[in-house]
Amino acid sequence: MALDLAFELMMLLTSGCALLVSAWLFWRARRRRSMKALAGFGVMMALWCAGHVAVFHGWERLGIALILANPLMPTFFLDFAVGFVNQGPGHTPWLDRLARHRGLLYLAAVLVSGVTLWFGGGGIIAFGPFDHYFVFQGSGWFNIGYTISVGVLAHTLLLWGFTRHRGNRKRSIAAMFAAGAWGLWLATSFIFPSLGLLWYPWPMLLLPSYVLLLVYGVVRYQMLEVNAWANRALLWTLLTLLVLGLIALFSAMAGSFGMQALANVPQWQLWLYSMLLLLLMLALYRPLNKLVERLIYPGSRLDEQLLDTWLARLRDAAGWQELAREAEQLLSRQMGQSVRVRLLAEPPLPEPGPGLQLWCLHQPGGWQFRLLGFDDVTPGMRLTADVFASLLATRCGLLERSLQLAEAERKRLSEQHLVELGGLAAAMAHELRNPLNIIAMATAGLEASRKTMIQHQLQRADRLISDMLAYAGQLQIQRRPVALAPLLDSLQSQFDWQQARFDYRLPPGFTLQADPYRLQQVLVNLIDNALAFVRNQEGGRLLLEAGDRPGSLCLHNNGPAIPADLRDRLFRPFVTRRSGGSGLGLAIVQRIMDAHGGQIRHSAELGWPVSFELYFPEEHTP
């Protein structure tokens, strides 16, 4: 192939690549002015290359005008650099002012181009394989000097931005510098004939790579689809080089194998045929790929729009039931038949039922999926189910973490509320007990009956204050083994039994892992609450016995059964059926059991009208 023709083809290829990339950038830029300026740089690169082609074909005035317009090329790049650097943490006022006066930069570039064109800044010479080649003359050196100065200014600005930015923007600037060094080396050979060095500009044959590398370096960290395109482009480039190398080797060895006719074919023709064949393969790849997918996976209709729809619908589900219901609707619609979706967070696993089922299981390594009943579906439908199940498993993991964060935040706010409530309760208790003490001292001179009545009410008020402090305050639990029988014996003298009978049945040496003071508080509240209903009842009885598992107790009484409408809210504060009660006794017991990591629940199924089951774990559960 003639060297002048090779140079012309590279200029045309560079121009075409620059126009295509610029059009794509302008389409994707939307409101990002910096990307539009980079698209303008690409357009000027295309015109500059077109100017060389015009010179080759004898259109000298047009070609010289396009080449001498090259100051606009670095001006567009400077405009891009200003916008690219002046974003995020690198935003500065002086760059804002420069951006507002960018019009002056373009005006200066146009004036330099016009003046050098008017004063004949370029000429045409013949050397080597070229009959027409552009060289700078006279004022043209001012043109190239201005162009280089603006380019240096743009790269200096990028270097300053490199020190200010982090992350992907910093990586983009580094990639631009690497592409700029590559472009500088390529363009240097273009200047040599103007300096009297009549060397063939070999590096200029690689000029198409410059604009592609520059734009790719900018957008590879900004637009993910560019990386997918670059992956395919690099693959096809390597495949092309491999094919061309094999063709050259085969052509050189064809004569040795008796294929003289093939050996006589010019190598460039073989390369041209190979390139045409590769381009044909590239054009047919996507339709053939879709055809093969339909043959191998009939019935499969997966595409990016469908996957985006699935992700959006699954992302909108705020709970497990809603997620399972949404997943069933999406998969059943896609499969054309009913599919049951089950989200199983804990074993044991249920028995599989009939029909198609998708199970998402919570495993130690994360959420996994299992397809049941899919043995007889087509490969395409199985592929659809596999892809959907993978998305659903991922969404289950994200929802689990989201709910955990929400629960942690709820607990934090609850604990903060309790701290505030505890502080308020302590302040109120102090303010209330002062007037109560004054009232108690004022009863000293009253007659006995009236004094007794007032003292009884004062004790009730003091007990109510103590209950409020116990419920609202911070619970500090210090667990240790507590022998229960001696504790019960010491407590019996504190109650007014009024002929009610109290018994306990405990194994010898029975102990609980609990805070002694809080355990006493639990027993006092439960026994006092039961006595309020059985002490005036004939044959009233309380029984405390060990439960079926270690650390468990059952406190029974034969008082009236608790109404069904009260059982669900029995442990809430200020819920009581006891005359004169504060409604905080059982709520305090619930808080103490929670602080131990234990449980308390009411039962009417243990042979007694009222039973409370308590469980203190052997080890502390936070």
What is the per-residue pLDDT across 279-293, written as a single tens digit (0 to 9) for each? 787 778 778 777 766
* pLDDT at 217 (0 to 100): 73
Q: Cis omega (within 30 of 0) on the bond before 348? A: yes
Beta bridge partners, 602, equal 612
- Whether residue 48 is predicted with pLDDT greater than 90 in this model: the reply is yes
What is the distance of C-alpha 159 from the center of its chain? 31
Structure tokens at 467: 């209950």
Read off the pLDDT of each residue in 111-136 and give the average, rounded to a whole number.
92
* Cα–Cα distance, 334 to 384 (Å, whole number): 8
* pLDDT at 621 (0 to 100): 41
* pLDDT at 577 (0 to 100): 65
* pLDDT at 73 (0 to 100): 93
- Whether residue 158 is predicted with pLDDT greater than 50 in this model: the reply is yes
Buried b (16+ CB within 10 A) or exposed e, 510-548: bbbbbbeebbbbbbebbbbbbbbbbbeeeebbbbbbbee
* Cα–Cα distance, 117 to 142 (Å, whole number): 11
pLDDT in tens, 540-569: 889 999 888 888 899 999 888 888 878 877
* Cα–Cα distance, 481 to 616 (Å, whole number): 11
- Whether residue 105 is predicted with pLDDT greater than 90 in this model: the reply is yes
Q: Tell me the C-alpha to C-alpha distance, in Å, between residue 238 and each of 224, 243, 244, 272, 279.
A: 22, 9, 10, 16, 14
Q: What is the DSSP string of 71-85?
A: THHHHHHHHHHHHHH
Q: Tell me the C-alpha to C-alpha distance, in Å, between residue 178 and each of 14, 22, 172, 173, 216.
A: 19, 20, 10, 9, 11
* Cα–Cα distance, 60 to 66 (Å, whole number): 10
CATH 1.20.1070.10 in the chain, residue ranges: 3-222
> Which of 1-5, 112-116, 331-335, 581-585 is least confident?
581-585
pLDDT in tens, 65-94: 999 999 999 999 999 989 888 876 656 888
Q: Between 618 and 21, where is the model more confident?
A: 21
Q: Tell me the C-alpha to C-alpha distance, in Å, between residue 588 and each of 122, 319, 518, 525.
A: 96, 32, 10, 8
User: Could you tell me which of 487, 481, 615 has the C-alpha nearest to residue 553?
Assistant: 615
Spatial CB neighbours of 381, under 8 Å, sequence gap ≥ 6: 299, 300, 335, 374
SS3 label, residue 511: strand
Read off the pLDDT of each residue in 409-437 and give the average, rounded to a whole number.
68
- Whether residue 157 is predicted with pLDDT greater than 80 in this model: the reply is yes
Mean pLDDT estimate for the chain: 81
Read off the pLDDT of each residue in 352-365 and give the average, rounded to a whole number.
84
pLDDT in tens, 206-251: 888 887 787 777 766 555 445 555 566 667 777 777 877 777 777 7
* pLDDT at 578 (0 to 100): 63
CATH 3.30.565.10 in the chain, residue ranges: 477-615
User: Could you tell me which of 556, 570, 554, 542 has the C-alpha nearest to residue 616?
Assistant: 554
- Whether residue 104 is predicted with pLDDT greater than 70 in this model: the reply is yes
Spatial CB neighbours of 447, under 8 Å, sequence gap ≥ 6: none
Structure tokens at 340: 């049951």
Read off the pLDDT of each residue in 289-315 and give the average, rounded to a whole number.
73
CATH architecture for residues 3-222: Up-down Bundle (1.20)
* Cα–Cα distance, 137 to 37 (Å, whole number): 30
Query: Which CATH number is 477-615 given?
Result: 3.30.565.10
Output the 3-class SS for 101-131: CHHHHHHHHHHHHHHHHHCCCEEEEEECCEE
Stated as kind and residue range, the H or E segment containing 604 is: none
Beta bridge partners, 594, equal none
* pLDDT at 469 (0 to 100): 60
The structure's pTM equals 0.47
Read off the pLDDT of each residue in 115-125 and give the average, rounded to a whole number.
93
